[in-house]
Amino acid sequence: MDSPDLALAPERGRLKMADIARMAGVSISTVSRALAGNPLIPKTLRDQIVEIAQTHGYVVNQSARSLRLRKTDTIGVIIPLAHEAGQMISDPFFLEMVGRLADEITRRDYLVLLNKVITNEPGWLDRIIQSHRADGLLIIGQSTQHEALNAVAASYRPMVVWGAPIPGHRYCLVGSDNREGGRLAVSHLVARGRRRIVFLGEIDAPEATQRYEGYRKGVEEAGIAFDPALVIPSHYTREDAQRAVEGLLASGVAFDAVFAFSDVLALAALTTLQRSGKRVPSDVAVVGFDDILLAQHSTPPLTTIRQDLEAGARIMVDLLFRRMAGDSSPSTISPVNLVARESA
Amino acid sequence: MDSPDLALAPERGRLKMADIARMAGVSISTVSRALAGNPLIPKTLRDQIVEIAQTHGYVVNQSARSLRLRKTDTIGVIIPLAHEAGQMISDPFFLEMVGRLADEITRRDYLVLLNKVITNEPGWLDRIIQSHRADGLLIIGQSTQHEALNAVAASYRPMVVWGAPIPGHRYCLVGSDNREGGRLAVSHLVARGRRRIVFLGEIDAPEATQRYEGYRKGVEEAGIAFDPALVIPSHYTREDAQRAVEGLLASGVAFDAVFAFSDVLALAALTTLQRSGKRVPSDVAVVGFDDILLAQHSTPPLTTIRQDLEAGARIMVDLLFRRMAGDSSPSTISPVNLVARESA
DNA sequence: CTGAAAGCGCTAACAC
DNA sequence: GTGTTAGCGCTTTCAG
């Protein structure tokens, strides 16, 4: 069973370091060091061992390595969903964000562990952290989980959250200036002569709240009386926004513009309005938020508040790696800008 | 150091099973069994132990568990890129596919390990397999890696590839009927009176080749003489397609329709044509492939060959889990259909 | 420079 | 029912 010499690989696929050691006629430690490029091992021997490993298709078992080293070379990307488990599929925003993050992470030779989480179950974050599957965590959107994040932030450092700053947040936060975005949108609409501006969206998550606050501020700055009838709640899906806009139209409330929480909602509003005979922008102007890829392709193209996701993703990953290295890192809010297209 | 009673958790975050065992006054194995829901342990004790673990935020260390169990509860989703590492960001097709797969996988309580791979380096697939980070592999697109996949398929079972069937493929393959898709597109264009139909795209990956073959077949069926000047190579990016179409326009070759390898390329062609004064579809009709979300939002909306990605993803994950369970599983080619919108 | 040995945290025979 | 024990495959002191 233990033929000492150059035994052939056993059944392909379950090689371990000991096998390579035997083939090379050295000890396991030497193989480990050689494969790690440790200069203690003379270059010739090192190359020899690497060569043997390669020709036999041997690769270090990562579970064992992770257990020993307490590190996984993996970053967890977490998408917290409050209820609707189906959102991810349909939500281009998440997808674009994930793509960007994945690129940044793989550029650093880390892997991406994608994790769609239902936040209803308390302890979800602890469970992820304690499972030790990832060396760091990127949370896309606070959702309603500010408290949970804060609770964990004190003792768990390598975590960066995409979202909006809430007073007293103790976790590292990266995001856009949502409030200013909301204000910008309204001010643009006002400059176009609109007075009856709808806010379309949920007001639960911090990002939403702040966009709404910006909306309120913009309305106020314009000297327009705030009308609560113009605040139309809608979940984050296309379908819900459509329902909401249909309800609005049916209600008979007069309006000449819509500022939506996101492009997804804005695009849903756009088509719903058009389908019921309204012209955009002449009857109703529409402004979105995010500037997803779709925004420039709608008819008419969507005027929107642009978040630079590429930069955002880069910053998130940057800060995360700094935290993983033990540094502290500042929360960062990036400016947004209005992209004027034809819908408003 | 070893206070036997209910010692408080040590520094939060590095609890192990032994700690819980001590707190519960039982042995490690009992904790392990209790946490696994093993009915050998009486329900009362089991609940007690689970309770203790929960209040202390203890969760089983997955590296250790994986090492012992030789399973990771993780599926690797691999995006092979031949050269252009930037493709992923911009490519809505990958993103939609990843989203769909992630939903299917998380529904089964597995995690998703995202892996963008540069296929130039030989041995990339072995390296992924041997690292034992995932219990199964989903490869999105064969790219030019048919040989590599075949080489591995004999000894590594839990792998499903999205792509197009190549004679002699020994790996489990899921995909669409690319050839019929190409034929359908051309036949639609011919029915609309087009005779000078461009094929826009690369012809390296099997999917591309087969769409091209369908194109050739459609042209032939229509009794149109094949004109090689109408085959316009383009990489998989928007930018490259734009360049290619500009080149085509500059060349003076006459054409009245474009069938593009993908919607991304078709949309790039659309805007490039419009920008240079051509009207779509009256001057040039355009047909794409995939039916990504963007397709229905362009101006005019894009006529395209629809692949049902949701179904495709479900099938892939289904087959993969069957293979992981030791069953064999058949390759599956799904039908495509033409979605007639306004661009052709 | 190289090897022996300890142990990362867990699960599952195998005793009792 | 429960505990003892032997690894899973690796890295890294610590000796030589």
C-alpha distances out from residue B70 to A63, B59, B73, B128, B323, Å: 9, 19, 10, 15, 16
Confidence of residue A2 (pLDDT cuts 50, 70, 90): very low
Q: What is the 3-state secondary structure (H, E, C) of A162-173?
A: ECCCCCCCCCEE
User: Is B72 in Cβ contact with A67 (below 8 Å)?
Assistant: no
CA distance B199 to B210: 12
Q: Could you tell me which residues are beta bridge partners of residue B257?
A: B197, B285
Closest chain A residue to B124, measured at CA: A57
- Is residue A41's beta carbon less than 7 angstroms from any atom in nucleic acid strand C? yes
Contacts of residue A103 in chain B, CB cutoff 8 Å? 85-86, 88-89, 116
User: Tell me, what's the pLDDT at B157?
Assistant: 87
Distances (CA, A) of B241 to A144, B238, B261, B265, B280: 42, 5, 10, 6, 17
pTM equals 0.88
Q: What is the pLDDT along chain B (344 residues), one digit of tens a residue?
A: 333 323 333 345 589 999 999 999 999 999 999 999 999 999 999 999 999 999 998 999 999 999 999 999 999 999 888 765 455 555 788 888 998 999 899 889 999 999 888 888 888 999 999 999 999 999 999 888 999 999 999 888 899 999 999 999 999 999 999 999 999 999 999 999 999 999 999 988 899 999 999 999 999 999 999 999 999 999 988 889 999 999 999 999 999 999 999 999 999 999 999 999 999 999 999 999 999 988 988 888 999 999 999 999 999 999 999 999 988 889 999 999 999 999 99
How does pLDDT run across A217-239, given as a tens digit for each residue? 999 999 999 999 999 999 988 88
pLDDT beyond 60 at A1 = no
Residue numbers in A near B89 (CB within 8 A): 99-100, 103, 310
**Percent of the residues in chain B that have a pLDDT greater than 90, as a whole number:** 77
How much is the pLDDT for A84? 58
Task: Give the C-alpha separation, B166 to B208, whole Å.
Answer: 12
What pLDDT is attached to residue B83?
64
Give the pLDDT score at A157.
Answer: 87
Residue B30, CA: closest nucleotide via C1'? D2
More confident residue, B83 or A117: A117
Q: What is the pLDDT of residues A260-319, one digit of tens each?
A: 999 999 999 999 999 999 999 999 999 999 999 889 888 889 999 999 999 999 999 999
Handedness of CA B322, B327, B333, B335 (dihedral sign): negative
